[in-house]
Structure 1
Amino acid sequence: MLRQRHPSPKKIVFVKTHKTASTTIQSILCRHALYNSLRVAVPKNGRNFFSYLEKPFLASQTRTNDPDVILFHMNFLKDEELIPKTKKSIYITILRDIPESFESRVVYYKFKDRKNILPEETDPKKLVSKVMNSYDSILSKIIGNGTYMQQLRIILGNWYFSQFYQKSKDPYKALSVSSEDIKQTINFMDETFNLVMITELFDESLILLKDLMGISTEQITYISLYERFRQQSYDNSFEQSTESEIRRRLHADNAIYQHFKHVFEQKIQEFGSERMQAELEELKEKQAELHTECVEKEIIARQSNEHIFVPRKVAMMAWKIKKGAPGFCKYYIYSEKQWLNKFK
């Protein structure tokens, strides 16, 4: 597979969200930046994020002057933009349906729960059910302003709202959101983002991203990153009562997701169903070529040396690249930290 350069890349702002397949999108954009010699905004703190959960993004947090691409974690603030919104720039992000994203982050972040605030449970669906059944009781235990307590308010609250709300990054706000706050946030996102991708329609999202960026199908090929290992018998469904309670409690995030899923479906209609199907078939073929050329097998991340952070008691998937594979293959499985070091 030939790695292609794009003759006149647009400037890109990618607001990375948690547990949405955003790391895979980030990988595509990192490779795009690398092949086109673009300047990627690098955090001054030496870590793979500008701001995290409870803190807002500030332009002073980057060491990069006049960047072409922003793609590391941040709580987005429009007033702190490093890349102005023009016809030569694109703003993108990705959202995942609320029950699935809530389950993923509760399971993932439970490794930090040294204070035993969350219930003890190894089964992900049962854990989420127990959290929702004891939601008010759990919230009553989240006291104080320590970093973990502030993060837990957002983890259990309206995560998307907290990341995009423009008036305040107060972590308490994640737990109690007014209808006017939701309306303002949706309006702001509508005005700002060229494309809000949807995790459940991941390949379709990539096709629309490809069209927006003016790049080839080959340039949106991917190897899934930071995916939790699941047994083949894994049940992806929730009890109706649990799902309804999650959507009720996280009503702001649910409203944001439902709005942008509808917008996304409209974009697919405008793109054309036959055209989309043909593009998806081409992507499927390119994906098969990539895996044949690069991948030896799937492995569990804790058994690998791929610089992937593995939370306590969470099994993560990784990939082993074939011996003698082309040099570009390694970039498909680069971690955030590896990319950060590459762009420093």
Structure 2
Amino acid sequence: MLGFKFKSLSDTEMLWNKVFLVLVAVSMVTLLLIWTMNAFGHSLSPFSTNHLKPKQTNVVFLKTHKTGSSTMQNLLFRFAERHNLTVAFPKKECGYIFCYPRSFNTRFVHPGTLPANIITHHMRFNHAEVRRLMPINTVYITILREPASMFESLFTYFKETCEIFKKTPSLEAFMEEPQLYYQPNEPNKGVAARNCLTFDLGGDKDRPATDAAYVRDFLAKVDRSFSLVMIAEHFDESLVLLRRLLSWDFDDVLYVKQNMRTAGSKRTSLAPGLASKMRAWNSLDVQLYDHFNASLWRKLAALGPALVAEELRLLRQAQERLMQSCFGERKLQLRSAKQIKDTKLRPYLNDNNVDILGYDLPDNVSHDGSSSQKVQKLCLRLITPALQYSDLLRETS
């Protein structure tokens, strides 16, 4: 009979065996964790951001016209300040836009604001040129608005600065016979007077909407270029997707609406058939909007209605906390720009003198700290209009 002789393990061998068992246990837990994250959409909790993934800090936001894009710009400015990021600014000759309506070129960027993490000023999009400036992992985002609503706002706001609109008696007159005033090759001064969303995205604003091949290729190009196309009418729902895409916290996506028109400068109703005429005139924009509106809701459906509803609840709860933290029981004063005496908080009034709403600090609160209660820098930035905020960031860049 064979005999077996057992040899006792040394203390060192026993220690290494324990280490081995610990490593095996850690590996199994890690594999289980990865499986759980995949099962729940890369998040330990379906209602929280995946904090194992770092925040995305390289972002291009194509700021389109009259779409709520100033609200997004303010949000991005604040994110850049909090995280010590560099925002690319237009060179002096371009003003506050990247020499729009010319197609974007790297020459339009102020060299003192490079290398950049964030781009968020108006431009006519040129993906190849933007990529030359930005890191390879940059996330591209833009926002669209229902074309008839957007065009009414566009016409009203740019009535005296867009040459085509300027020679038109009224919106109704323009929509009755647009070809009487509009010339395709006429230089765009201020803004494109047809298919402005398509134009801002780098497309051909005068291409017939019946050119199905062009429309299909253009939509595919925008799809490839942008990871998220937000929808102005569903701004909060868009922020749910944005927050997850960028792995940001709720505090990173808080906002107050910027650059809104006063009630007196808005049309309470449109003449019968006017909206359909505006949609027909901007038919490329309509196809663009309809495509990405549907895309937004597909992405939200993939998250699930319960998760989206909870995210919206948490977002609005965070908004309320911010307002309470900033101003306590006092309320922000939403006023006409003409009534705001503090130039640092007064929105820009264009040549058409369209009245814009801005925010005044609550009574007994000032921005210079002279009152008994100082307002935090964050709170002031939240209500600072686009041009003044741009100037502040330029001064510190």
Paired residues for 1:308-319 under 5 Å = 308-311=347-350, 312-319=352-359
2:385 corresponds to: 335
* Aligned residue type for 1:253: D
User: Structure 1: how far apart are the matches of 2:322 and 2:338?
Assistant: 24
Give the corresponding residue for 1:150: 188
In structure 2, distance between residues paired with 1:90 and 1:212: 9
Are 1:131 and 2:174 counterparts? yes
Give 1:309's aligned amino acid: Y
Aligned to 1:325: 375
- Per-residue CA deviations over 1:12-35 (Å, capped at 9, x if unaligned) read 011100100000001111111110
Change (3 A) 1:343 1:194: same
Aligned CA RMSD, in angstroms, stands at 2.5
| Alignment check: 8 A CA contact 1:106 1:155 kept | no
Q: 2:279 aligns with which of 218, 232, 247?
A: 247
User: Given that residues 94 and 197 in structure 1 are in contact (C-alpha distance below 8 angstroms), is that contact kept between their aligned partners in structure 2?
Assistant: yes
Distance 1:134 1:203 in 2: 37
Question: Deviation per CA, 1:243-272, whole angstroms, max 9, x where unpaired?
Answer: 222222211111111100110110110121
Q: Which moved more, 1:12-21 or 1:273-282?
A: 273-282
- Range moving further from structure 2, 173-182 or 222-231: 173-182
- The residue aligned with 2:39 is none
Aligned residues: 317
> C-alpha separation between the residues in 2 aligned to 1:38 and 1:175?
38
Separation in 1, partners of 2:309, 2:260 = 26
Aligned mate of 1:278, from 310, 314, 320: 310
Aligned 8 A contact 1:11 1:83 in 2: no
Give the corresponding residue for 2:168.
Answer: 118
Q: Which has the higher contact order (CA 8 A, sep 6+)?
A: 1
Q: Please say if residues 68 and 83 of structure 1, whose CA atoms lie closer than 8 Å, have aligned partners that are also in contact.
A: no
Secondary structure of the structure 1 residue equivalent to 2:64:
coil
For the pair 1:221 / 2:254, whether they are aligned, the reply is yes
Equivalent position of 1:92 in the other structure: 141
One-letter identity of the residue aligned with 1:151: K
Aligned partner of 2:83 among 36, 46, 54: 36
Kindly report structure 1 stretches of 4+ aligned residues shifted beyond 6 Å.
none
The answer to whether the aligner puts 1:183 opposite 2:216 as a matched pair is yes
What's the % identity of the aligned pairs?
Answer: 25
> CA offsets, 1:124-166, max 9 Å, x none?
xxx4333211322222xx5985xxx5237x5321111112236
CA distance in structure 2 between the aligned counterparts of 1:8 and 1:202, rounded to whole angstroms? 21
CA–CA distance in 2 between the matches of 1:184 and 1:144?
23
Q: Is 2:60 aligned against 1:27?
A: no
Larger radius of gyration: 2
Residue among 156, 173, 192 paired with 2:225: 192
1:205-226 Cα offsets, whole Å, 9 max, x none, are 1111111111111221111110
Report if aligned partners of 2:161, 2:189 keep a CA contact under 8 Å in 1: no
- Output the TM-score relative to the length of structure 1: 0.84
Question: Which residue of the other structure, out of 335, 349, 356, is the alignment partner of 1:299?
Answer: 335
| Residues 114, 66 of structure 1: alpha-carbon distance in 2 compared, 3 angstrom cutoff | closer
Aligned residue among 202, 207, 213 for 1:165: 202
Cα deviation, residue 234, structure 1: 5.9
| Cα distance in 1, alignment partners of residues 270 and 307 from structure 2 | 34
Structure 1 CA distance, aligned partners of 2:185 and 2:55? 50
| 2: CA distance, partners of 1:44 / 1:113 | 23
> Contact 2:104/2:125 (CA < 8 Å) preserved in 1?
yes
6-15 or 255-264, larger mean C-alpha shift: 6-15
Distance 2:299 2:185 in 1: 44
Letter in 1 for 2:334: E
* Distance in 1, Cα, partners of 2:135 & 2:274: 40
Tell me the equivalent position of 2:100.
52
Kindly indicate whether the alpha-carbon contact (under 8 Å) linking 1:57 and 1:77 is maintained by their aligned counterparts in 2. yes
Mapped partners of 2:108, 2:185: distance in 1:
27
Partner letter of residue 108 of structure 1? Y
Query: 1:174 Cα deviation (Å)?
Result: 2.4
